[in-house]
Structure 1
Amino acid sequence: MIPAEPAAPSRLARWYRTSLVGHPAGRDFRQLWIGDTISQVGTQIGTIALPLLAVSVLGADEFEMGLLATFQHLAFLVVGLPAGAWVDRMRKRNVLIAGDLVRGVALLSLPLAWLAGVLTFPLVLAVATVIGVATVFFDVAYQSYLPSLVPSSRISEGNAKLQVSHSVAQVAGPGLGGVLVRALGAPLVILVDAVSFLASAVFVLRIRHRDERAPGNDRRALHVEIGEGLGFVFRQPLLRRIVATTGASNLFGGISNALLVLYAIRDLGVGEAGLGLALSVGAIGGLAGALLAGPLIRLVGEGRTIALALLPGLPALALVPLAAGHSRPVAIAMLAASTAVVGVGIVVYNVAQVSFRQRLCPRRLLGRMNASVRFVVWGTMPVGAFLGGIIGSEYGVLTAFWVGVAGQALGALPVLLSPLVRMRDLPRHLDEHADTEPAPQS
């Protein structure tokens, strides 16, 4: 009797074996990915719930909404630089766990205060500040930890998968958040975000890889170590241009983002569920960008992808202020279209530029490099948010949006007028361990 031939492996099985999640060294990455996915869904629900809490429960105006967005991102400007040096001295896994726990507990205080009848706008600002500080440390450690969990040749794949989670959360989170806010109220919905951070901490705890703390005898004065991170970023001509574009985009984007919820609810009249629907439908663009990033980078080249990815989204930014005066369905559609088109470009751009700088930087400087980049590109966001509150209260919300549109268009020039447009492959750091794969975890 002739033995039957084994069935050919399914397409899903072949994908699993060849992808990062099925790689022998991929177990720890899976824990990071699952934890991040849970956290991202909760965060996207909280992203719409926190400003809705300020608008619908506390009656915040233009200036207060600008102030809330300022406090949400102020930590990147205040502690962004020393955070990189501190993270390089710590075990990054521990930083991730602490960041999740702090954010979860801080968010829990808001629904508890609401139930006790003591919820105030200053408390919301305080919680936003604490979450911002914890996020600074978490994000720096997160981007610096990934290269130690995956092979160097698969960093782009790892970043793309993490970006898929972020994009899926952007699709599901705001719509779900808008419906939940309408049904339960913003304070109770924030509880969902708090629980997601605690769940994320559980999965990070399951990571077996233990990164080593930097030897104490190698440490120098904090300002010297900070200077090394800044020096690396600003000595790299291509990285300088990427940082300039991202920083300008976040500065002027911060003007618009600070006022979006107030504009949508008060001026456009789309309602909580309508705003959530617009953001969820629009976030499909981000999901598409995450799925397309890898193939596009391989087809077009990393340099050209960074230079050109933002172009399609620039005219789409104008759809937000142009939505004024239209009916509710049309306004929702215009908000969704703008978010979708802009999202494709931003996600592709981020996957390409983050992977480039992770490969370019020596491992010992990753924390300080990431913190230096975040200090510049995220540090502009509280400035933009504060300006948005002032412009909105003095000259109107629409004026603030048009300033944001014009500024983001000009901000793309540093990469558009750079050698990146002509480059397919980008330089990388020739670390002696850069191409070695982490040992499989038993």
Structure 2
Amino acid sequence: MALAPEHMKNKGLGRDFWLYRSGQLVSIVGDSCGMIALSWWILEATGSAAKMSSIIAPAMFARVILAPLLAPLGDRLRRKNLIIAGDLWRGVLYLGLAAMAASGAFQLWLILSLYMLSGAGSALFSAGASGIVPSLVSRDDLQLAMQRTEAVNSVGQILGGAAGGLLVTAIGVPGALLLDSLSYFAAAAASRAIKADTMPTGVPAGGSALKNWAREFSGGVSAMGRVPVMLGIGIVAAFINFAFAPIAIGLPVLVKELRNMPPWYLGAMESALSVGAILGSFAVGRLTRRLGADKLMVGGIMLLGVYLALLPVAPDRLAPLLIMLLLGSTMSVVNIPLNVRCTAAMPDNYRARMGGAMGFLCGVMAPLGVAAAGAAIAAFGLPYTFLISGIAAAALGPLLLLVPDFRQFLRLSEQEADGYFLRRYPSAFR
């Protein structure tokens, strides 16, 4: 496992970590603005949840497919360079969307094309980002780095939600999309200033690039398939993500069509979700020690289903914001312990590939869920769609207890998780 040098211990998370996170903070703010603007633009032009899902679902599917295909690059090339390339690519494409919005040229096929192409940039970014943090901090600081990452992401989403809603209300869609584009360029500049060597360890030399890519891609998929706890969690997570997919298009519909509220309220809901995520990231350590990460994950998923079902029927303006706050905090409590253990448990020269394969498995059902949600909202309405989705999600949570080694893996300390997959399943990495 490639980690930052020993001299970084006891010196905080370090310059490189905060350079990386500050750059991504800027891009998260911009991206939140861009997503609110894009959703509002589509609903304003079409008034249709089904049309919105016809853009979001294919783009999500492209991102899910490309992530494992590009993931082997993260185990062969400098991860910093992949992150920079992904940010620059997305910045250019969102600049194109901003130009379209400014000119009043609403072409559904062109918006879909640009948004789908941005998925390639996201997949390239993910190939580098999935394994870079252990190269920037010491082993002892890995859990703290993951907690700070979750908190920084949430701060960005808070600021982005508030800024996005206010920008769309005050100056319209083009300004928010332009901010999104510029934020990617700023993030690329921050990542370029990182001094740490982010080259993966254990990189094989020589051979055909195509053969190396094919071998590494299949190796990552094979390794994940031979680690039963990862495979089992990924399968259950795929169906949970299908159940939660309606929220991706449901929030703009809830605000604009069901409640007839302005864009700033959509931004407030996004911000409430992120405030909750920050609160959850600070509470997760104590809750994990008291209850155990396995119980937190199962119980948290069941609670998320309840919150989803209640969201469309919550009264007045305050109750939906409170539910979004609870959603965000519970998501952090569910995700952080799992992410920390998986990151530590994977061998460094497999981390990006296995992470890409896991991301594909967890996310492959989400585009189908978004497409189904668009049709369901159009046919049955938002409250009924969210009710069924919430019940399904709550019912799926306990299935994690059937995954082999689930309890044992989630109960590992951070130190025990380090290199765990190689020790527990050595044949998966031969």
Shorter-chain TM-score range: 0.7 to 0.9
Residue identity in the other structure for 1:281: A
Residue identity in the other structure for 2:21: W
Q: Distance in 1 between matches of 2:392 and 2:171?
A: 38
Seen in structure 2, the aligned counterparts of structure 1 residues 143 and 84 have a Cα distance that, compared at 3 Å, is: same
Is 2:13–2:145's contact at 8 Å kept on the other side of the alignment? no
Query: What pairs with 1:105-144 in structure 2 (closer than 5 Å)?
Result: 105-144=92-131
2:50 pairs with 1:59? no
Seen in structure 2, the aligned counterparts of structure 1 residues 312 and 31 have a Cα distance that, compared at 3 Å, is: same
Question: What is residue 182 of structure 1 aligned with on the other side?
Answer: 169
Per-residue CA deviation, residues 288-329 of structure 1 (Å, 9 max, x unaligned), is 012222333344444444344334333222222324xx5xxx
Question: What is residue 353 of structure 1 aligned with on the other side?
Answer: 338
Residue identity in the other structure for 1:379: V
Is 1:47–1:174's contact at 8 Å kept on the other side of the alignment? no
Deviates more, 1:227-236 or 1:265-274: 227-236
Query: What pairs with 1:425-440 in structure 2 (closer than 5 Å)?
Result: 425=412, 428-430=417-419
Query: What's the secondary structure of 1:347's corresponding residue?
Result: helix
2:248 pairs with 1:257? yes
Q: Which of 15, 23, 28 is residue 27 of structure 1 equivalent to?
A: 15
Q: CA deviation at 1:223?
A: 4.1
Per-residue CA deviation, residues 113-170 of structure 1 (Å, 9 max, x unaligned), is 2333434222221221122221122123102111121122222111111110111122
2:385 pairs with 1:392? no
Q: Distance in 1 between matches of 2:213 and 2:87?
A: 25
Residue identity in the other structure for 2:27: S
Larger fraction in helix? 2
Residue identity in the other structure for 2:357: S
Query: What pairs with 1:265-276 in structure 2 (closer than 5 Å)?
Result: 265-276=256-267
Q: Distance in 2 between matches of 1:291 and 1:154?
A: 15
CA RMSD of aligned residues (A): 2.6
Is 1:76–1:133's contact at 8 Å kept on the other side of the alignment? yes
2:199 pairs with 1:212? yes
- How many aligned residue pairs are there? 407
Q: Distance in 2 between matches of 1:337 and 1:417?
A: 32
Deviates more, 1:211-220 or 1:115-124: 211-220
Per-residue CA deviation, residues 197-235 of structure 1 (Å, 9 max, x unaligned), is 111111100001233373442674544422322222232
Q: Distance in 2 between matches of 1:69 and 1:340?
A: 24
Question: What is residue 156 of structure 1 aligned with on the other side?
Answer: 143
Is 1:303–1:425's contact at 8 Å kept on the other side of the alignment? no
Query: What's the secondary structure of 1:414's corresponding residue?
Result: helix
Query: What's the secondary structure of 1:210's corresponding residue?
Result: coil
Is 1:309–1:349's contact at 8 Å kept on the other side of the alignment? yes
Q: Distance in 2 between matches of 1:52 and 1:117?
A: 14
Q: Distance in 2 between matches of 1:373 and 1:260?
A: 27
Q: Distance in 2 between matches of 1:115 and 1:311?
A: 43
Question: What is residue 3 of structure 1 aligned with on the other side?
Answer: none
Question: What is residue 87 of structure 1 aligned with on the other side?
Answer: 74
Seen in structure 2, the aligned counterparts of structure 1 residues 363 and 240 have a Cα distance that, compared at 3 Å, is: same
Question: What is residue 228 of structure 1 aligned with on the other side?
Answer: 219
Question: What is residue 45 of structure 1 aligned with on the other side?
Answer: 33
State the TM-score, normalizing by the size of structure 2: 0.87
Seen in structure 2, the aligned counterparts of structure 1 residues 305 and 86 have a Cα distance that, compared at 3 Å, is: same
Q: Distance in 1 between matches of 2:57 and 2:296?
A: 31
Deviates more, 1:231-240 or 1:371-380: 231-240
Larger Cα Rg: Structure 1 or Structure 2?
Answer: 1
Q: Distance in 2 between matches of 1:316 and 1:24?
A: 37
Seen in structure 2, the aligned counterparts of structure 1 residues 401 and 233 have a Cα distance that, compared at 3 Å, is: same
2:395 pairs with 1:406? no
Q: Distance in 2 between matches of 1:396 and 1:60?
A: 14
Q: CA deviation at 1:429?
A: 4.8
Query: What's the secondary structure of 1:79's corresponding residue?
Result: helix
Q: Distance in 2 between matches of 1:127 and 1:413?
A: 39
Residue identity in the other structure for 1:335: P
